[in-house]
Amino acid sequence: MALGTAAPAQSFSQLEDEGCAFVLRFVLIAFRGRRPEDRFWGLLRQFLFDAQILNDADTLAAKDLLMRASGLQPAQARALLDFLSQAYSQNSERLFWSTLGDAIQIYGILPAA
């Protein structure tokens, strides 16, 4: 794991599934302005779509990818966050790790519903 990624990754692993859904939505909002060629969009496509239809998924707009990802069930949200964490662990994507850490902190101080 890259420098600075251990704390958010460890905190993420301790979240319940509903917390993962909140954290994922937070990350998606933070990353929605990424350029079309950014690696983030390819990772979302890779996770959301089966390899057989990946070429069709290339034509989906960022808005469509965000809608699909934000509609994931809590357990699927955890799986997507885990997938992104693994993908970003090999490069020091500071924005991803700081956003993940911020989301976990905010979720931790939210009042229980």
Quick: pLDDT tens for 73-111: 999 999 999 999 999 887 667 889 899 999 999 988 876
Mean residue pLDDT of the chain comes to 81
Determine, yes or no, domain membership for 97: yes
Question: Residue 63: inside a domain, yes or no?
Answer: yes
pLDDT one-digit tens code per residue, 48-71: 986 545 455 556 788 889 999 999
| Residue 1 located in a structural domain | no
Could you tell me the residue range of the domain that residue 49 belongs to? Answer: 6-108
CA distance 34 to 81: 17
Q: How confident is the model at residue 2 (pLDDT cuts 50, 70, 90)?
A: very low
- Per-residue model confidence (pLDDT) at position 62: 85
* pTM as predicted: 0.79
Answer whether residue 16 is part of any domain. yes
The domain tally of the chain equals 1
Is there a domain that residue 77 lies in? yes
Please give the full DSSP string across 58-112, using - where no structure is assigned.
TT--HHHHHHHHHT--HHHHHHHHHHHHHHHHTTT-HHHHHHHHHHHHHHHHSPP
Indicate whether 57 belongs to any domain: yes
Distance CA 15, CA 24 (A): 12
Work out whether the CA dihedral 107, 85, 99, 34 comes out positive or negative: negative
